[in-house]
Structure 1
Amino acid sequence: MAEPRPGLVLLFQRRFLAARPLSSLPWPELEQSLRTAPGSALLADILHEHESTAAEPLDELYEALADVLKEEEGSTHCYKSYLLPSGDSVSLCESTALVCGGTTGLLTWEAALLLAQWALQHPGLFRGRTVLELGSGIGFTGIAICKTCQPRTFIFSDCHPRVLRQLGENIQLNGFTPEPDVAWSTQTEPQGQEVPGQNCQTPKVIVAELDWGSVTEKQLLALRADVVIAADVVYDPEIILALVGMLQKLSTSRAGRKAPEVFIASTIRNPDTHQLFQAELGKAGIRWQVIPAHSSCNFLYDVQPDVTILQLFI
């Protein structure tokens, strides 16, 4: 019996490893492939029997897979793997709940997936440079960049203790060893000299606790960021002022260095919130432009969200 076409197998593999809902797997395409493939007459007969009993095709397979894949009662976390174009993967421990421990930062959001795909299409922006990620969450975007784009240094940052703990575990799960969160927050002199374009097979990885409201210009200067990225950080009007204020500190903490390139990806759930962000950027004198991004993403398998990537000029 002929096997389903390789592309279809890859679709199943990607969605299965990313722990997507069973309903999102391409069952109709599989059924059609098996019906038309040479030597699949037996499977066609089986499917016909399912249909003759008024049952949905593959219902039993749905149920069997659900029994195998379902988590233990009371479990709040699961492991997901996202396949990269390079053939490598990003494996993460994620929360199964949208809000866990008082934070939404313990699972991977859509803008992080799309920002990662955009970054992987523009590796030269990150190669040999120091990258600061704001609101890293559990780490998908940064880990994907570290595995694919060869940054010199990647600084993951967040402010929630539980998120930082899970972030550190996920970074180690993917083969990186974060340097101790020593005195980046008390450094008074920048450390090291960045070499643009330097080939870095294994980037230096740092996890930093960074509160946008309290971080100082001196602390930001010590990070020496060449590129600043963030995903899904524009979702609450209450944090927009702190975010814009922190971006202003970045713009004035250069000490003669070139301003970092800044890219922020956002899922537009509430247009008013996104417009507020743009308005506050204007008040702060920060120009922005929309970066074209592909409408589809290899890491997303359900409805494609309305995600925009802004480049900020600070």
Structure 2
Amino acid sequence: MAPEESAEAARLLPSFERRFLAARTLRSFPWKSLEEKLRDSSGPELLLNILRKTVKHPLCVKHPPSLKYARCFLSELIRKPSGDSVTLSESTAIVSHGTTGLVTWDAALYLAEWAIENPAAFAHRIVLELGSGAGLTGLAICKTCCPSTYIFSDCHTCVLEQLRGNILLNGLSLEPDTTDPARHPGHNTYNSESPRVMVAHLDWDVVTAPELAAFQPDVIIAADVLYCPETVLSLIRVLQRLSACLKKQQAPEAYIAFTIRNPETCQLFTSELGQAGIPWEAVPHHNQKLFPYEEHSDMKILKLML
């Protein structure tokens, strides 16, 4: 960065710092000046410095602002270099309508960060997400990783309704609901700006192998679905069915992200993977933190070879 650019960026940083620490309205931030600097200077370095002066500021680490405020700020900040953002409608209750799927959990944020840093894992591929919840991970992948097709799935009616709304809220076209994507042949989206997007009702306990085979996924993902032994065993059965029914095509990759709340539950998952004959490896921790979540959360991503 040239000396004059560095001096101008240095003047910009205190303005962001003061406004963020005072929790000023987002429209009061000097976004226009930031956009000008991002066109003339080293964008990643400037954005990193802004993060250090705002969400990573020692005062904010010790006394965090509201999660809603931090997420709205980061959404606006991320949009400046990329030209896009992700907007979500969520429940304010952890458990609502008998499900935890109406809010975004930390592992979904963690997996979204990893995907943004590793877009090649999803580019021009069919992605099936198990237990999509509010949809943040999938929306981030659709907007930054160029998948050819993205299939959101869940089993709860209220979650599916909110999920459809969030997809439309983010300007993506939504194909008819289906458990059989083959009924809705899509166009070639490799050169399209947006992927083909679908929502599927998928109950892990009753879905059949032919229904899973119809999705023809290249990549399977799931985040924060290992919250009790019952769901672990249901997930293993779904992965086994996917592995068995997709043998004729190139084996898909699966990425499962989770927060380690109960080590015994995580141990059960890896043990059941071994018994099912599904190899796995831990994905190294990524470098960038884009979203606000608990600093000391122990989160992991496992890559499975189906």
Q: Same fold (TM over 0.5)?
A: yes
Q: From the two aligned structures, give the one with the greater helix fraction.
A: 2
Cα drift, residue 176 of structure 1 = 1.0
Match of 1:5 in 2: 14
Match of 1:205 in 2: 197
Match of 1:239 in 2: 231
Q: 2:93 aligns with which of 84, 91, 97?
A: 97
Cα drift, residue 237 of structure 1 = 0.7
User: 2:289 is matched by which residue type in structure 1?
Assistant: C
User: 1:8 is matched by which residue type in structure 2?
Assistant: E
- 5+ residue gaps, structure 1, are 18-23, 31-61, 71-78
Cα drift, residue 212 of structure 1 = 0.9
User: 2:283 is matched by which residue type in structure 1?
Assistant: I
Q: Is the 8 Å Cα contact of residues 190 and 224 (structure 1) preserved in structure 2?
A: no
Q: Find the aligned partners of 2:55 and 2:114 in 1 and give their Cα distance.
A: 24
Matched, 1:226 2:222: no
- Aligned-pair identity in percent equals 48
Matched, 1:261 2:253: yes
Greater Rg over alpha carbons, structure: 1
Matched, 1:251 2:243: yes
Q: From the two aligned structures, give the one with the greater strand fraction.
A: 1
User: 1:5 is matched by which residue type in structure 2?
Assistant: P
* CA separation of 1:298 and 1:131: change in aligned 2, threshold 3 A: same
Match of 2:44 in 1: none
Q: Is the 8 Å Cα contact of residues 129 and 194 (structure 1) preserved in structure 2?
A: no
* Match runs of 1:1-314 below 5 Å: 4-5=13-14, 8=17, 82-83=74-75, 84=78, 86-182=82-178, 184=180, 191=185, 198-254=190-246, 256-294=248-286, 297-314=289-306
Cα drift, residue 256 of structure 1 = 1.4
Q: Find the aligned partners of 2:199 and 2:19 in 1 and give their Cα distance.
A: 33
Cα drift, residue 259 of structure 1 = 1.3
Q: Is the 8 Å Cα contact of residues 268 and 307 (structure 1) preserved in structure 2?
A: yes
* CA separation of 1:27 and 1:306: change in aligned 2, threshold 3 A: closer
Q: Give the TM-score of the pair, scaled to structure 2.
A: 0.75
DSSP-derived class of the 1:166 partner: helix
Cα drift, residue 200 of structure 1 = 3.5
Equivalent residue pairs, number: 260
DSSP-derived class of the 1:202 partner: coil
Cα drift, residue 302 of structure 1 = 4.3
* CA separation of 1:302 and 1:282: change in aligned 2, threshold 3 A: closer
User: 1:161 is matched by which residue type in structure 2?
Assistant: T
User: 2:14 is matched by which residue type in structure 1?
Assistant: R
Aligned CA RMSD, in angstroms, stands at: 3.3
Match of 2:32 in 1: none
Cα drift, residue 226 of structure 1 = 0.5
Q: Find the aligned partners of 2:188 and 2:19 in 1 and give their Cα distance.
A: 39
Q: Give the TM-score of the pair, scaled to structure 1.
A: 0.73
Q: Is the 8 Å Cα contact of residues 178 and 198 (structure 2) preserved in structure 1?
A: no
User: 2:193 is matched by which residue type in structure 1?
Assistant: Q
Q: Find the aligned partners of 1:207 and 1:181 in 2 and give their Cα distance.
A: 5
Q: Find the aligned partners of 2:82 and 2:140 in 1 and give their Cα distance.
A: 10
- 5+ residue gaps, structure 2, are 1-10, 27-53
Match of 1:73 in 2: none
Q: Is the 8 Å Cα contact of residues 295 and 304 (structure 1) preserved in structure 2?
A: no
Q: Find the aligned partners of 1:224 and 1:88 in 2 and give their Cα distance.
A: 29
Match of 2:43 in 1: none
Q: Is the 8 Å Cα contact of residues 209 and 245 (structure 2) preserved in structure 1?
A: yes
Q: Deviations over 1:12-56 (max 9, x none)?
A: 699987xxxxxx9678669xxxxxxxxxxxxxxxxxxxxxxxxxx
Cα drift, residue 127 of structure 1 = 1.0
User: 2:118 is matched by which residue type in structure 1?
Assistant: H
Cα drift, residue 80 of structure 1 = 5.3
Q: Is the 8 Å Cα contact of residues 296 and 304 (structure 1) preserved in structure 2?
A: no
Q: Is the 8 Å Cα contact of residues 98 and 104 (structure 1) preserved in structure 2?
A: yes
Cα drift, residue 5 of structure 1 = 2.7
